[in-house]
């Protein structure tokens, strides 16, 4: 392709993206059934024999795909704690894709390695976590927990003289894994991937907000990993780290924190009390693609014991870099990888300390507005709204489901169903930079319409 054709194509992509984003306010949040059927028909064909013009490919994707996209980049998507994408992070992501850097080491991408080290340092500063921690960028909080718990598995077995990297888990001393009754589903997936077993865990019962009950902690002995949660996906509640961490660490246990979205509360002095004590843990998983509002797929794993992290993931090969420098490939499950830390650097730079705090505080205030509006309209808010999450029921399960279906059909906003403490409910998650107070008002009005008609 000539320079001129490439330039035309890339500018066309940017133009189409802008048209898409600017149209989000005017369209339904979830795509029309017709747009999805059109896509089904268009995608049914076999792999073509002949090449296509790149600009035609892009136009086809835009025509078919943009109407089929969920408007989660807009201000009225409240499903799944997804966050939107900050303009600075989106633009940086495009530029970094154009760079096409393989960010596995200084030898393959020296500039990116420097940006990522700086982004890790800023992340620790934003979250008020120890400056000396090691860390890495991975695809999501699932892989960040995988990373932290792989380091944990190495460290707790090393304490009893077992090198799990060399010998595996065959014949190894047992590791006791402790989780809360409301641990996120991904923790169990991670435990299965690490050979620690989904069902071999000790489950500590949760209280009425989903927090691990301190009075129900088991007696600890032998190699132990305790998984805490900062930000329950329904209620937003935090496990009481200040009470739990010192107690379990006194027994030599490793404490891992799943803080997928909630850990960002530590960036706000007003919200920091929720996450007090989490700085005493050994490893932390936190998403960037949720509350920090960078593009998918991007999360951060932080580990206090840099040697444990390195031992879990180091690699060797004749052509691979040797030396003392921190290389992504030695502390990350992946090898070849995109420059995902750059998106984080851009988000942190564009927000600054004050901007991050304002973002999370605004979402918590908007969640409180939702809760107050729902209560005033006679609906039942089921959780203490301490963060950005609201759980609401509209009578019994059948009526709640009917209201959710009507709300989703109306298309003004999108909220999903959940089950909270055995009860069918709807979950509202405020996590996009794009959400305005007007969006909250419009969503509340639409919820009310949906509820009145049932």
Query: Closer CB to ligand PLP, residue 79 or residue 373?
Result: 79
Minimum separation from the CB atom of position 255 to ligand PLP (A): 16
Phi, psi of 94 (to 5 degrees): -65, -45
Convert residues 241-270 into a mask of x (bound to ligand PLP by CB under 6 A) and - (unbound): -----------------x-xx---------
Query: Closer CB to ligand PLP, residue 106 or residue 266?
Result: 266
Query: Closer CB to ligand PLP, residue 227 or residue 342?
Result: 227
Query: Closer CB to ligand PLP, residue 231 or residue 341?
Result: 231
Query: Closer CB to ligand PLP, residue 135 or residue 373?
Result: 135
Residues 6+ apart with CB under 8 A from 389: 81, 231, 232, 233, 234, 235, 236, 367, 383, 427, 428, 429, 430
Query: Closer CB to ligand PLP, residue 142 or residue 400?
Result: 142
What is the C-alpha to C-alpha distance for residues 230 and 249, in angstroms, rounded to an integer?
A: 18
Sign of CA dihedral 313, 314, 315, 321: positive
Q: Is residue 138 near ligand PLP by the rule CB under 6 A? A: no
Question: CB of 145 within 8 A of CB of 185?
Answer: no
Query: Closer CB to ligand PLP, residue 233 or residue 447?
Result: 233
Minimum separation from the CB atom of position 141 to ligand PLP (A): 3
Q: Is residue 194 near ligand PLP by the rule CB under 6 A? A: no
Interface with ligand PLP: number of residues (CB under 6 A): 13
Q: Which of 299, 406, 434, 443 binds ligand PLP (CB under 6 A)?
A: 299
Report DSSP letters for 308-340, one per residue. Answer: HHHHHH----TTS--SSS--GGGTSS-SS---H
Phi, psi of 176 (to 5 degrees): -90, 125
Q: Is residue 294 near ligand PLP by the rule CB under 6 A? A: no
- In the structure, how many helices (H) and strands (E) does the chain have? 13, 11
Q: Which of 112, 141, 255, 392 binds ligand PLP (CB under 6 A)?
A: 141
Identify which range of 19-27, 28-36, 139-147, 215-223 contacts ligand PLP by CB under 6 A. Answer: 139-147
Minimum separation from the CB atom of position 171 to ligand PLP (A): 31
Give the three-state DSSP class for 252.
coil
Phi, psi of 107 (to 5 degrees): -70, -35
Identify which range of 129-137, 138-146, 188-196, 321-329 contacts ligand PLP by CB under 6 A. Answer: 138-146
Cβ neighbours around 280 below 10 Å, total: 17
Cβ neighbours around 377 below 10 Å, total: 14
Identify which range of 103-111, 135-143, 276-284, 379-387 contacts ligand PLP by CB under 6 A. Answer: 135-143
Q: Which of 92, 101, 142, 389 binds ligand PLP (CB under 6 A)?
A: 142
What is the C-alpha to C-alpha distance for residues 83 and 291, in angstroms, rounded to an integer?
A: 5
Identify which range of 136-144, 214-222, 344-352, 356-364 contacts ligand PLP by CB under 6 A. Answer: 136-144
Question: CB of 76 within 8 A of CB of 442?
Answer: yes
Could you tell me which of 214, 225, 74 has the C-alpha nearest to residue 145? 225
Minimum separation from the CB atom of position 308 to ligand PLP (A): 21
- Angle at which helix 437-453 crosses helix 397-410, to 10 degrees, equals 130
Query: Closer CB to ligand PLP, residue 233 or residue 390?
Result: 233
Cis peptide before 297 (omega within 30 of 0): yes
Q: Which residue is nearest to ligand PLP (CB)?
A: 140
Q: Is residue 309 near ligand PLP by the rule CB under 6 A? A: no
Q: Is residue 81 near ligand PLP by the rule CB under 6 A? A: yes
Query: Closer CB to ligand PLP, residue 81 or residue 178?
Result: 81
Minimum separation from the CB atom of position 142 to ligand PLP (A): 3
Query: Closer CB to ligand PLP, residue 203 or residue 320?
Result: 203
Distances (CA, A) of 355 to 91, 264, 267, 433: 18, 12, 10, 10
Match 């009310």 to its residue by tokens.
448
Q: Is residue 287 near ligand PLP by the rule CB under 6 A? A: yes
Q: Which of 231, 275, 341, 373 binds ligand PLP (CB under 6 A)?
A: 231
Tokens matching residue 393: 């029921």
The H or E element containing residue 300 is: strand 299-303
- Length of the chain as a residue count: 454
Query: Closer CB to ligand PLP, residue 388 or residue 446?
Result: 388
Q: Is residue 184 near ligand PLP by the rule CB under 6 A? A: yes
Identify which range of 137-145, 189-197, 217-225, 335-343 contacts ligand PLP by CB under 6 A. Answer: 137-145
DSSP state of 284: E
Minimum separation from the CB atom of position 230 to ligand PLP (A): 8
Could you tell me which of 305, 259, 250 has the C-alpha nearest to residue 278? 259
Exposed, middle or buried: residue 223 (CB in 10 Å: 0-12, 13-18, 19+)? buried
Interacting residues with ligand PLP (CB under 6 A): 81, 140-142, 184, 186, 231, 233, 258, 260-261, 287, 299
């Amino acid at each position: 392709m000539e320079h001129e054709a490439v330039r035309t194509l890339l500018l066309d992509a940017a133009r189409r993206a802008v048209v898409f984003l600017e149209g989000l306010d005017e369209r339904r949040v979830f795509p029309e059934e017709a747009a999805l059927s059109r896509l089904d028909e268009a995608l049914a064909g076999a792999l073509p024999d002949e090449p296509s013009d790149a600009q035609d490919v892009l136009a086809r994707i835009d025509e078919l795909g943009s109407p089929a996209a969920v408007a989660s980049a807009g201000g009225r998507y409240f499903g799944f704690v997804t966050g939107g994408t900050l303009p600075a992070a989106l633009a940086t992501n495009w530029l970094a894709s154009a760079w096409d850097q393989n960010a596995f080491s200084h030898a393959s991408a020296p500039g990116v390695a420097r940006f990522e080290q700086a982004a890790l340092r800023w992340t620790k500063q934003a979250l008020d976590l120890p400056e000396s921690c090691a860390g890495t960028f991975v695809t999501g909080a699932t892989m960040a927990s995988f990373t932290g718990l792989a380091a944990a598995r190495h460290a707790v077995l090393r304490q009893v003289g077992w090198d799990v990297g060399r010998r595996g888990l065959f014949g190894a001393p047992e590791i006791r894994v402790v989780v809360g009754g409301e641990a996120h589903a991904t923790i169990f997936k991670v435990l299965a991937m690490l050979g620690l077993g989904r069902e071999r865990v000790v489950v500590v019962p949760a209280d009425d907000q989903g927090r691990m009950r301190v009075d129900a902690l088991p007696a600890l002995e032998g190699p132990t990993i305790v998984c805490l949660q900062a930000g329950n996906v329904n209620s937003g509640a935090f496990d009481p780290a200040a009470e739990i961490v010192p107690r379990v660490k006194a027994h030599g246990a490793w404490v891992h924190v799943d803080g997928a979205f909630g850990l960002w509360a530590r960036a706000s002095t007003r919200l920091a009390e929720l996450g007090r004590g989490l700085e005493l843990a050994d490893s932390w998983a936190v998403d960037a693609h949720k509350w920090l509002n960078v593009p998918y797929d991007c999360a951060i794993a932080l580990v206090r014991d840099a040697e444990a992290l390195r031992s879990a993931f180091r690699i060797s090969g004749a052509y691979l870099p040797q030396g003392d420098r921190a290389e992504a490939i030695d502390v990350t499950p992946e090898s070849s990888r995109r420059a995902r830390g750059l998106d984080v650097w851009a988000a942190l730079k564009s927000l600054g300390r004050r901007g991050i705090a304002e973002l999370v505080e605004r979402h918590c205030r908007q969640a409180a507005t939702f809760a107050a509006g729902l209560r005033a309209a006679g609906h039942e808010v089921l959780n203490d709204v301490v963060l950005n999450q609201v759980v609401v029921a509209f009578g019994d399960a059948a009526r709640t489901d009917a209201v959710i279906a009507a709300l989703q059909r109306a298309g003004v906003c999108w909220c999903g169903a959940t089950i909270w403490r055995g009860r069918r409910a709807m979950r509202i998650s405020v996590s996009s930079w794009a959400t305005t107070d007007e969006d909250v008002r419009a969503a509340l009005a639409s919820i009310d319409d949906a509820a009145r008609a049932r």
